[in-house]
Amino acid sequence: MTDLESFIPQKIPTKPGVDFWELRLEERLTTIVYFKGATPLQIGESLDRGGNCRAMARGGWGFATFNDPRKLTRSLRQAQELARAVGKRPHKWRSREAIRTEICARPKIDPRTVSLRKKVARIKGIRERLEEHRLVDTATIGYSDTCFIRIYLNSEGSFIKERGVSTKCFISGANTGKGGFEASSRSAHKQGVGYELVDEFEKDIPQILKDLRHLLKAEPAKGGTYTVIIDPMLAGVFAHESFGHTSEGDYIQRDPRIMEIMRLGRKIASPQLSIYDHGAMPHQCGSLGYDDEGTPSAKTALITEGILTGHLHSRETAYNMGEEPTGNARALSYAFPPIVRMTNTYIAPGPNKLGELIAEVKEGIFACGSRGGTGGEMFNFPAVYGILIEGGRLTKPIKNFSLSGNLFKTLKNIVALSDDFHLRGSWLGCGKMEQMPLPVATGGPHVLIKDIIVGGR
């Protein structure tokens, strides 16, 4: 890969009145293999190289991108001129001590040592093995790896160089028989993990088959208000989509009502609940050593035993709200400026066994898997399938239902959490503004919640 450092000038030109500048250089070598049934939808390798310059002057921002690293100096001047043209107030920015470091991922199997031909054959073979099962009419499968170099430097004297690898996989099995279309999927996404991820991802096939068996036997759910146990996949979606986005500093500072609701120290949830955003977890897909403003990644306690204890911040939103940066300023690539984003967001496990949660429920639903949905203060999350709980026992499988409610009421209606825990990175990632798909992981334990609205027939 290219020696990106050779494009950085010995002396960075800085115009009068500029309070801060930063430079990012990136190079990404990406492989993708994607099949739907026997049809290859995408197979290939691509190389992307470029960077950006961002500058602040009197509170105004200038931003310029380039695909040719030789245009770095010109783009920096352009960013500074833009910032000076729009800046009209004192800058609001948390300064940091300079950081100078290099990071290098060491996967067990560097994806660059495996040919595209071998990758295609392996992924095609997994698809064929899944379609051998009578439950599966069509399998969709994807594999992608990205080997990258990133360099970040700024006017404070920071210089951060990272050589990394990101690998992800996706698999879905669909049944299109007389009962209609039914499908289940799983994904895996890790940072610092190479081609060896395929071995882990292949282990998801039994779970997909289990889901299809439930779906093919299930009856449509009856709508109403229920006590519900959500599985770790749904718990992670709830933590990310509803509460995580609500914890982002740029969202909070725009709305005085949300600013009051999200006031630190406020009792916001059941005392059983703790939620974290943890960007320093080894190998998780949302993990990073430093965010895209050079702030070290960290574990941020958002809720601690029901009390609101943290928000997610960039350097600018931290200054505006009188708090400290949390390492959550992230950009999808060099083509975008950093904004406040989550990393690995999850509900912490509790003290109970899953069987104890089920035994507590006289009449309710055990909801499994996620089909996406909408978050925010009012949420709606379709489950893949469910199982009725009657008299403390799992009984009949159900399907075609969603869970909805008010975030802040639901946080207080959490009754208990299991002691198991699962965290998973997605193929699609997180979307915010125009930046998607950003790698994030979500997860948690099984969570028992009362008074959830179930939309069914």
Instruction: Name the average pLDDT for the chain.
Output: 94
Tell me: pLDDT of 263 over 90.
yes
Tell me: pLDDT of 1 over 80.
no
pLDDT, position 2: 73
Tell me: pLDDT of 131 over 80.
yes
pLDDT, position 31: 98
d(CA 285, CA 104): 16
The residue among 206, 39, 45 whose CA lies nearest residue 112 is: 45
Tell me: pLDDT of 91 over 80.
no
End-to-end CA distance of the chain: 56
Tell me: pLDDT of 275 over 90.
yes
Mean pLDDT of 256-271: 95
What is the set of domains in the chain, with CATH numbers? 4-217 (3.30.2290.10), 220-455 (no CATH)
pLDDT, position 372: 84
pLDDT, position 344: 98
Q: Residue 456's pLDDT band (boundaries 50, 70, 90)?
A: confident
DSSP string, 279-345: TTSTTBTT--SB-TTSPBP-EEEEEETTEE---B--HHHHHHTT----S-EE-SSTTS--EE--SEE
Q: Residue 143's pLDDT band (boundaries 50, 70, 90)?
A: very high
Give the lowest-confidence range in 180-184, 279-283, 285-289.
Answer: 180-184
Q: How many CB atoms lie within 10 A of CB 198?
A: 20
- 439 is written with which tokens? 């790698």
Please work out, in degrees rounded to the nearest 5, the angle formed at the alpha carbon of residue 228 by the alpha carbons of 224 and 229: 160
Q: Residue 6's pLDDT band (boundaries 50, 70, 90)?
A: confident
Tell me: pLDDT of 439 over 80.
yes
Tell me: pLDDT of 178 over 80.
no
Contact 28, 148 (CB under 8 A): yes
Tell me: pLDDT of 121 over 80.
yes
pLDDT, position 21: 95
pLDDT, position 257: 93
pLDDT, position 93: 86
pLDDT, position 119: 97
The residue among 112, 129, 131, 133 whose CA lies nearest residue 121 is: 129
Q: Residue 90's pLDDT band (boundaries 50, 70, 90)?
A: confident
Q: Residue 398's pLDDT band (boundaries 50, 70, 90)?
A: very high
Between 90 and 126, the higher pLDDT residue = 126
Tell me: pLDDT of 428 over 90.
no
pTM (2 d.p.): 0.95
Q: Helix 116-131 crosses helix 205-217 at what angle (to 10 degrees)?
A: 30
pLDDT, position 186: 92
Q: Residue 11's pLDDT band (boundaries 50, 70, 90)?
A: confident
DSSP string, 154-221: ETTS-EEEEEEEEEEEEEEEEE-STT--EEEEEEEEEES--TTHHHHHHTTHHHHHHHHHHHHHPEEP
- 148 is written with which tokens? 């990258």
